Amino acid sequence: MTRHSTRVVEAGVAYFAIVFAAGFALGTLRVLLLAPRFGELLPVLLELPLMLGISWLACGWVLVRFQIPHRIPPRLSVGVVAFGLLMLSELMLSTAVFGRSLSDHIHELTTPHGLVGLGGQVLFGLMPLVSARKVAC
């Protein structure tokens, strides 16, 4: 793996880790405190703008910190790495913590709150691509 490729992977892992940590904290509050009182959809709708804001800040920091060029392939690669890790982590949490099967996990993504969350996760993955911050190559 080249130094450039290593930086892209490291940036994707860092981006994922920062946002996942924030999402884990907010998601715990959502699941334990808000969802039992308000149902599943409203808490996800309230959490989404916060998570997208955190993602935007984390993305900008990571792209600068790892000196990711302002070109489509490396930026998209950072997002793909981060999104892939996020999907894998979500699956692992769903099955290990919540005891869902793979088919239950996939079904959960087709619910209204699941689709809203998935939409936010896709935006998270695309954020490095659309980030306007330019970095010296």
Q: What 3 state SS string does the chain have?
A: CCHHHHHHHHHHHHHHHHHHHHHHHHHHHHHHHHHHHHCCHHHHHHHHHHHHHHHHHHHHHHHHHCCCCCCHHHHHHHHHHHHHHHHHHHHHHHHHCCCCCHHHHHHHHCCHHHHHHHHHHHHHHHHHHHCCCCCCC
Confidence band for 4, pLDDT divided at 50, 70 and 90: confident
Confidence band for 134, pLDDT divided at 50, 70 and 90: low
Residue 121 lies in a domain: yes
Higher-confidence residue: 133 or 83? Answer: 83
Read off the pLDDT of each residue in 37-62 and give the average, rounded to a whole number: 97
Report the number of distinct structural domains present in the chain: 1
Residue 104 lies in a domain: yes
Confidence band for 135, pLDDT divided at 50, 70 and 90: very low
Residue 136 lies in a domain: no
pTM of the model as a whole: 0.91
Residue 52 lies in a domain: yes
Residue 39 lies in a domain: yes
* Average pLDDT score, the chain: 93
pLDDT at 5: 87
The answer to whether residue 132 scores a pLDDT higher than 80 is no
Residue 135 lies in a domain: no
Residue 125 lies in a domain: yes
**Domain extent for 47:** 3-130
